[in-house]
Every structure is written in C-alpha cells, then in structure tokens.
C-alpha cells in the first residue's frame, strides 16, 4: 500500500443511539461488554466489568432522569492513549442538573449511581450540549487490572 494514500489510524470509537428505555440501558451495557472484548479486554476481566458498571449507571440516569419523550440517548466509547476508556452518555434533557441523592431522599433503594461513578472512574464530569447534556467518565483499563 502506498503510504501517501493510506488512511491514518483513528482513535477506536463506538457511537450508538439507543432508545431512552430500560431496554436501551441494558443494551448499552451489553454493547460496552462486546466492544471492550473486541478491544482486548475480555468479558470476564475486571476492566470490562467496571466499564459495564459505569455505563449501566450513566445509561440508567439518562433513561430515568434525562429522558425526553421521543428522544434517544447516545452511548459513545472512545479508547484513548495509554489505554484509558472514555465513556460518554448524552441525553436530551439539559434542564436537570446532576446531584448526589441522600439515602433519606431515595428511601435507601436508589440514588447512589453518581457516588459509584465517582468511586470507579479515574475522572468524570458533565458537558453541556446544544440540546441536553453529556455525562462522561474515564477509566484506566490496564494499569489497575493487569
């Protein structure tokens, strides 16, 4: 192949729009497991399980709190240099700010998702979009789990 006509290598990425339903959230987790396995992090690895947990929490929040009828949410996985996985979940609801829920507010059964994200992720945050918001988290795949 001629080096001048070769396509440059791009950052490995998966982007998928999913229905803002519990089924869409489950599918986001399954897609994450499959994609990480194809990137060399087997289904039964700690890195894959941790990424699935982060996606499950962010997708559940998008479906539960960021849902706008008739609008999907988007999952984006990007494998960054130094084997860092960036997880982005975007929803159409920009008017609701993220907040930690106390056990008293949640009745003890839910509301710990962002605390879990904070504990599992290397870093995380929220980015505004023209429509809605993106909640993102980054996870180091190799160093912690090799």
How far apart are the C-alpha atoms of 54 and 51, rounded to whole Å? 5
Instruction: Please classify residue 112 by burial: count the beta carbons closer than 10 Å to its beta carbon, then call 0-12 exposed, 13-18 middle and 19+ buried.
Output: middle
How far apart are the C-alpha atoms of 142 and 97, rounded to whole Å? 32
How far apart are the C-alpha atoms of 41 and 31, rounded to whole Å? 13
Which pLDDT score, from 0 to 100, does residue 1 have?
39
CA geometry: angle 3, 83, 13, nearest 5 deg: 65
Q: Mean pLDDT by 10-residue block, N- to C-terminus, for the chain (146 residues)?
A: 50 94 96 97 95 96 79 95 95 65 50 83 91 93 63
User: What residues have CB less than 8 Å from 113, skipping those under 6 apart?
Assistant: 57, 58, 60, 61
Query: What single string gives the DSSP state of each residue in 57-86?
Result: HHHHHHHHHS--TT--EEEEEEEEGGGEEE
């Amino acid at each position: 192949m001629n080096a001048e006509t070769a396509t440059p290598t791009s950052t490995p990425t998966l982007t998928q729009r999913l229905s803002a339903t519990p089924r869409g959230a489950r599918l986001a987790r399954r897609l994450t497991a499959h994609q990480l396995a194809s990137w060399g992090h087997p289904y039964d690895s700690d890195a894959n399980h941790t990424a699935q947990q982060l996606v499950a929490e962010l997708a559940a929040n998008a479906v539960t709190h960021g849902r706008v009828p008739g609008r999907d949410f988007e999952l984006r996985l990007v494998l960054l240099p130094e084997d860092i996985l960036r997880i982005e979940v975007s929803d159409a609801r920009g008017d609701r700010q993220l907040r930690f829920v106390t056990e008293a507010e949640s009745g003890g059964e839910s509301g710990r998702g962002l605390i879990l994200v904070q504990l599992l992720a290397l870093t995380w945050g929220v980015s505004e979009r023209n429509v809605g918001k993106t909640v993102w988290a980054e996870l180091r795949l190799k160093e912690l789990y090799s």
